[in-house]
Structure 1
């Protein structure tokens, strides 16, 4: 049996205030309370992800190796596998636990449209 503490989303939700702030990144649970005032992006970023899976937000920013090493000091344990599976299932059904809206198709089409416009300009006006 593993000595690693296992957590549920219910337990994470009990810790989403400035006095006690937990979140999960890559299925690992971290207590980031002491880091609130030091976070370069401001405490609002951490408070927004409190009590839930912050993996996508963490990776989108592109944190440094130093930032990843800092997480080791804040490590509490792992998210229970059943909790992760539950979150993945709800996300696939369109009701992700994080509450974030699904990305708009325009977000993906915009770069393509810009490239097409550039190509047309080069063909006809350059």
Structure 2
């Protein structure tokens, strides 16, 4: 990466969205992965579906190897103008009642500590009556 790096807008990169011309945005950098489409282990559909947006999260979620990251240098074409990428709304999980796993486990253990001895006692009594009656 030198001083002559090209800067692209999201609109510029979005135009390259076919299997004959495929560009991706990953970590603020633009990559032309057209020549890599056939060799991509996940298939070309994965790469094509990541065009027209910032594909950083998609790339990181997969957990690419160090060698895969090193390969990216040969596909580098420039930088993305970050002001052209819309801000993603931050994910907020839906409000749910608090579930305390520890208290539930405690309750189950206490219940079993009460019921298992009763079950053993009942079984012992049943065996005693059964053996007496025969």
TM-score (norm 2): 0.69
Q: How far apart are the structure 2 equivalents of 1:6 and 1:17?
A: 21
Structure 2 unaligned segments of length 5 or more: list them: 110-134
Bigger radius of gyration:
2
Q: How far apart are the structure 2 equivalents of 1:33 and 1:45?
A: 13
Aligned to 1:91: 87
Aligned to 1:55: 56
Q: How far apart are the structure 1 equivalents of 2:67 and 2:57?
A: 18
Structure 1 unaligned segments of length 5 or more: list them: 95-101
Aligned to 1:13: 14
| Contact in 2 for aligned 1:21/1:31 (Cα 8 Å) | yes
Equivalenced residues, count = 107
Give, in angstroms, the shift of residue 7 of structure 1. 1.1
Residue-by-residue CA offset, 1:22-73 (whole Å, 9 max, x unaligned): 0111111000111112112221111111132111111111111111001011
Runs of 4+ in structure 1 over 2 Å off:
none
Q: How far apart are the structure 1 equivalents of 2:29 and 2:83?
A: 14
Aligned to 1:120: 103
Q: How far apart are the structure 2 equivalents of 1:124 and 1:2?
A: 65
Question: Over the residues paired in the alignment, what is the CA RMSD in angstroms?
Answer: 2.4
Give, in angstroms, the shift of residue 86 of structure 1. 3.6
TM-score (norm 1): 0.73
